[in-house]
Amino acid sequence: MTQRQGLMATALLSTLLVGCAGMSGNDQAPPPPSADALPSSGVMILQCGGTPVRVTFSGEQALIEGVHGQYLMEQVVSASGARYEVPGDSSTSFWNKGDKGMLTIKGDTFPECEPAGALILQAGEWVVEDINGGGIIDRSRVTLNFGNDGRVSGRASCNNYVGAYEVQGRNLTVSQLATTRKACAPSLNQQETRFVQSLEQASRFRLDETGALVLEGEEGGSLKARLE
């Protein structure tokens, strides 16, 4: 993980924790090494019930971070999936299989951990850097803002847009898109059309290994954006 990627992931987790400060547990471990100090081989942003958690994997280690504290765990033998425990404390563990997991802190087990869903989208303003694998026009600006009211809005290249969205797990549905009608340069008009079509067709989302948000559609369209 580069320093920039680590800062982005930390900022994203901090955003996810807003409003959850009152949910911290009674026992907090002393802070282990930051995720930025670990050569990351994967990051997961999860929700364990109402608690957002970041899991950074590095070889046979997993760094668990959230409102409950920070725990550096080592991988142990598991019949299925991957299980990690704090050395010398088997009552604090994380088990994951695929994109789900189970977190236990000092013997207290959280509800099943699942992808953080809409909280990822709502982390802030996402600035688009690629449309359908073709990049974007230099110095143009395309943005995505997913509100907690179910509305998506931003700049489509030249015009502003607004619409509705729904999230179920990692599945995304965007509908009712409407744009303003300013006169734009032909190249921006074409880019705007591609963006709106790709956003309307988006059916799932994910964070890639660099922390970028990727929206993908069943027909092959895609958008890639980063938090500003």
The model's pLDDT over 136-192, given as tens digits with 9 standing for 90+, comes to 999 999 999 999 999 999 999 999 999 999 998 789 999 999 999 999 999 999 999
Predicted confidence at residue 44, as pLDDT, reads 80
Q: Yes or no: say if 167 and 117 are a contact pair by the CB < 8 Å rule.
A: yes
Please, which residues have CB within 8 angstroms of residue 23's CB and are 6 or more apart in sequence? Answer: 50, 51, 67
Q: What percent of the chain has pLDDT over 70?
A: 82
Predicted confidence at residue 98, as pLDDT, reads 81
**Type of residue numbered 36:** D
The model's pLDDT over 183-228, given as tens digits with 9 standing for 90+, comes to 999 999 999 999 999 999 999 998 887 889 999 999 889 999 998 8
Lowest mean pLDDT segment, chosen from 31-40, 71-80, 118-127, 138-147: 31-40
Looking at the chain, which residues constitute the CATH 2.40.128.270 domain(s)?
Answer: 118-227
CATH number of 118-227: 2.40.128.270
List, in sequence order, every residue forming a beta bridge with 164; answer none if it has no partner. Answer: 151, 175
- Tokens 């026009």 belong to 137
Quote the CATH superfamily of domain 3-115. Answer: C-type lysozyme inhibitor (2.40.128.200)
The sign of the dihedral angle between the CA atoms of 221, 130, 53, 34 is positive
Looking at the chain, which residues constitute the CATH 2.40.128.200 domain(s)?
Answer: 3-115
C-beta atoms surrounding 136 within 10 Å: 19
Predicted confidence at residue 90, as pLDDT, reads 95
